[in-house]
Structure 1
Amino acid sequence: MPAAAAARGGRGARTGGTGPVTAAGPAAPRPVVLYAAESLFGARTGVGRAALEVARAVLRQPGLAELHPVMGGRLLPGALFDAPPEARAPAAAARRPWRDRVAALPLAGAVAVSAAEALTRRSMRRAAAAALGASGGRALLHEPNMLPRPFDAGPTVSVVNDLSWRRHADAHPADRLAWIDRHLPRALRQVSRWVAISEFTADEFADEFGLDRARIAVATLAAGDAFRPVGADEAAPVLAAHRLADKGYVLAVGTLEPRKNLERLAAAHALLPAALKRRAPLALAGGIGWGGVEAGPALARAMASGDARPLGRVDDAELAALYARAAAVAYPSLYEGFGLPVLEAMACGAPLVHSATTAVAETAGAAGMPVDPLDPEAIAAGLAAVLEDAALAARLRAAGLERAAEFSWAETARRVAAVWRDAAGLP
């Protein structure tokens, strides 16, 4: 029996070759989903992490859906979702042939875009037919990163992660903004149902583009399994590697880009009493962002003096240890569609000082210390309160753990799968 046919039967299957990955479950009709896999390659962003976690959570729950990873109009190996990042990289070559064909055409401007879209639709139709096999019906395209590739062989569901490209254009390269503007009108016509990662993002997206709010479901994110309380002994090697003391630093997580607000955070930290600054320097976990963004004057002074220590990119295990053993975690971002580091910090039992605005406040609920992200003095007051009041810090740690437990990738997967079923017309 072909793998696709077996996967649509009562037992389901995981295949190592090109084809579906399905969770075992009943023979009731399930959405056949072409799962856009572009975000799973390269440097792992928040979008890529969420896309992978949702896919894996779908596969762990019987009967939710049949998933076919697809990129460049080609089905990829079904084992892709379980593979480590380095094993997924070779599959990225699947997207090159159709791009090479388009690049070879003697076309330019709108004509080239139209030709590229036509080739993509054709290859995606073939991918849908291969996924469906002899069963017929219609496949559904799921796009984790808002702008789907052209697809006309069934409905499209897209995830809206934020509107930072509208609200904070300075946080994005000009070519990215131009690409979004070029493809967004088609996406608004093509997408049947949208999924937003917070109520804030759903409301903002509907208002910005005049969409019926009923077309936008909300499926929040969750912290990964790596994010949990970590004891002092277990975390000791990580802290030693970064020259940090247990409960002796303020952790900030995020790339060096304007909307992460690290400049105001550094200015706020500079306002703390000298003894408190020495006891709890800033530890900055994250990359440099796009375009080689430079640190602002306050952050540059803090790094020069040792009051701020750049840690660079860290893996999840290191990050969990850094969250768990921090005296406080500061997340004063100016704009977020969800704010996943907020949830990760709470899941590790860290006392949290966070922005009182956008989706950050929604994600934190009542479990953190909200501050005005535009006011360094307010940020400093929040940090000082947590650093100087052990009872307050303990209450925030406990409240954060309770709040984080309200979120799970299993529930996210169920919500996304419900949107798939609705878009596909399944009960």
Structure 2
Amino acid sequence: MKIALLSYSTRPRGGVVHTLALAEALAAAGEDVTVWSLGRGGDRGFFREVDDEVRVRIVPFPDGPREETVGARILRSIATLRAAFAPCAAAYDIVHAQDCISANAAGPCVRTVHHLDHFTTPELAACHERAIVEPYAHVCVSRSVADELRAGWGLDPAVIPNGVAYERFASTEPAARAAWRARLGTYVLTVGGIEPRKGSLDLIEAYALLRAARPDVRLVIAGGETLFDYRDYRSRWEARAAALGIEPVVLGAVPESDLPPLVAAADAFAFPSLKEGFGLAAMEALAAGVPLVVRDLPVLREVFGSAARFADTPEAFATALGHALTLDDPVRAALGRKLAARHTWTEAAARHLAFYRSVTGGSHRRVG
């Protein structure tokens, strides 16, 4: 089966991590897979090496003028990817878009809805809506998101959870972990950058409360590559951190080889996201055996169950992080490792292939 997976970016965001891992697992199963993506800011490849069995097509996407709005950049992204992909689309049995930009660019396609957003920018709102209603088939990475699609749009998506690179996070080198400990000391880690959806303001409020009891603990923030402009939110976050008298360590995007030991060396992992579809970074923390505290959302209850601690306010987050740092809980840690180990990309790829065959009638001919 010839499969095209489309993504909006080459940089390390959850949907991009998902796209590459799925592509490699599909190729390992014997399928012919090509990943298409925009190459922003001169990017010529993805944030990590991709298995040689997967073809990669990077469509150049140069930076626009300084005055370009987010809406204008979205429209230019769609037009650029569409212009490159459209002449090749008929060559594929399955075209599978992983986000709203690539779904708008792809033409008839399968769409994975990782999570649902609520945009106020007109271009983004229209992009989001078209990317839900126009694809001919849908996949969600959790039942909770699938239920949102059923309730809001009357769709019946397949539910195929993410895989997890379990061994990569469970078997990190002691020396690499020790290097992060030497640099950072005792720390709570979050991955995903500083942005509204990640609950960053709530996290610094929680950290300020935690620090009153545990002044030795640092807050470390990794990641943050995004298409959107969160400078105003970042400014508010920085002002609030200064007012609280705290100085979180902001690492930004971390090299791919450094991420597993950074996660594994953490004393606790905080995941205060306001909206998620699965929580891949949090599942990677469980694979590393790190205590996990997440926002009390239905989707995260579904995915993590008793393997995580749940909190819904900064005060509750501070308390839960305090417990995670001080209470030895081998039963919960074992549950977390087992949960993460069950989510394999091999299984995810097999379920995707079964779904592809169901929507093509087993004919290996793209439906649209």
TM-score in terms of structure 1 length: 0.68
Report the counterpart of residue 363 of structure 1 in structure 2: 303
Report the counterpart of residue 3 of structure 1 in structure 2: none
Contact 1:219 1:415 in 2 (8 A): yes
Report the counterpart of residue 82 of structure 1 in structure 2: 51
- Per the alignment, do residues 341 and 296 of structure 1 end up closer, same or farther by CA in structure 2, a change over 3 Å counting? same
Q: Could you tell me how far apart the structure 1 residues matched to 2:170 and 2:195 are?
A: 27
Q: Does 1:424 align with 2:366?
A: no
Q: Which of 218, 222, 228 lines up with 2:163 in the alignment?
A: 222
- Per the alignment, do residues 314 and 411 of structure 1 end up closer, same or farther by CA in structure 2, a change over 3 Å counting? same
Q: Could you tell me how far apart the structure 1 residues matched to 2:193 and 2:128 are?
A: 26
Report the counterpart of residue 255 of structure 2 in structure 1: 315
Aligned residue type for 1:314: V
Report the counterpart of residue 270 of structure 2 in structure 1: 330
Q: Could you tell me how far apart the structure 2 residues matched to 1:346 and 1:207 are?
A: 31
Q: Does 1:66 align with 2:32?
A: yes
Q: Which of 248, 255, 258 lines up with 2:196 in the alignment?
A: 258
Gaps of at least 5 residues in structure 1 are 1-30, 97-108, 133-138
Q: Does 1:346 align with 2:316?
A: no
Q: Could you tell me how far apart the structure 1 residues matched to 2:320 and 2:130 are?
A: 44
Report the counterpart of residue 182 of structure 1 in structure 2: 126
Contact 1:354 1:361 in 2 (8 A): no
Matches within 5 A, 1:7-406: 31-36=1-6, 38-39=7-8, 41=10, 43-62=11-30, 65-70=31-36, 81-82=50-51, 91-93=58-60, 124=86, 126-129=87-90, 131=91, 139-146=93-100, 148-149=103-104, 156-163=109-116, 165-166=117-118, 169=119, 177-184=121-128, 186-188=130-132, 190-211=134-155, 213=156, 216-224=157-165, 225-230=167-172, 232-240=174-182, 243-245=183-185, 248-272=186-210, 274=212, 276-287=213-224, 290-292=229-231, 293-294=234-235, 295=237, 297-301=239-243, 305-306=246-247, 308-372=248-312, 375-389=313-327, 391-392=328-329, 394-406=330-342
Q: Deviations over 1:76-135 (max 9, x none)?
A: x9xx9536xxx968x424x89xxxxxxxxxxxx9xx99xx79x959973x4245x37xxx
Q: Could you tell me how far apart the structure 1 residues matched to 2:96 and 2:352 are?
A: 10
Instruction: Report the secondary structure of 2:362's partner residue.
Output: coil
Q: Could you tell me how far apart the structure 1 residues matched to 2:265 and 2:84 are?
A: 52
Q: Deviations over 1:324-359 (max 9, x none)?
A: 122111112111111111101001110111112142
Q: Kindly state the Cα deviation for residue 60 of structure 1 after the two structures are TM-superposed.
A: 0.6
Contact 2:21 2:345 in 1 (8 A): yes
Q: Kindly state the Cα deviation for residue 402 of structure 1 after the two structures are TM-superposed.
A: 1.1
Q: Deviations over 1:258-280 (max 9, x none)?
A: 22122222222222364x42222
Q: Kindly state the Cα deviation for residue 56 of structure 1 after the two structures are TM-superposed.
A: 0.5
Q: Could you tell me how far apart the structure 2 residues matched to 1:157 and 1:288 are?
A: 25
Q: Could you tell me how far apart the structure 1 residues matched to 2:170 and 2:305 are?
A: 19
Aligned residue type for 1:411: E
Contact 1:140 1:420 in 2 (8 A): yes
Q: Kindly state the Cα deviation for residue 32 of structure 1 after the two structures are TM-superposed.
A: 3.0
Identity of aligned residues (%): 29
Aligned residue type for 1:127: C
Q: Deviations over 1:353-384 (max 9, x none)?
A: 11121422222221011111xx1211111111
Query: Which of structures 1 and 2 has the larger relative contact order (alpha carbons within 8 angstroms, sep 6+)?
Result: 2
- Per the alignment, do residues 417 and 343 of structure 1 end up closer, same or farther by CA in structure 2, a change over 3 Å counting? same
Structure with bigger gyration radius? 1
Q: Deviations over 1:299-341 (max 9, x none)?
A: 3345x544x2222221233221122122111112111111111
TM-score in terms of structure 2 length: 0.78
Q: Kindly state the Cα deviation for residue 409 of structure 1 after the two structures are TM-superposed.
A: 1.0
Q: Could you tell me how far apart the structure 1 residues matched to 2:307 and 2:35 are?
A: 37
Aligned residue type for 2:281: P
Q: Could you tell me how far apart the structure 2 residues matched to 1:352 and 1:201 are?
A: 22
CA RMSD of aligned residues (A): 3.4
- Residue correspondences, number: 333
Higher strand share: 2
Instruction: Report the secondary structure of 2:294's partner residue.
Output: strand
Q: Could you tell me how far apart the structure 2 residues matched to 1:122 and 1:253 are?
A: 32
Q: Kindly state the Cα deviation for residue 150 of structure 1 after the two structures are TM-superposed.
A: 5.8
Aligned residue type for 2:260: A
- Per the alignment, do residues 184 and 335 of structure 1 end up closer, same or farther by CA in structure 2, a change over 3 Å counting? closer
- Per the alignment, do residues 157 and 234 of structure 1 end up closer, same or farther by CA in structure 2, a change over 3 Å counting? same
Aligned residue type for 2:215: R
Aligned residue type for 1:345: A
Contact 1:269 1:277 in 2 (8 A): no
Q: Could you tell me how far apart the structure 2 residues matched to 1:399 and 1:263 are?
A: 30
Aligned residue type for 1:45: R
Aligned residue type for 2:220: A
* Worse overlay, 322-331 or 226-235: 226-235
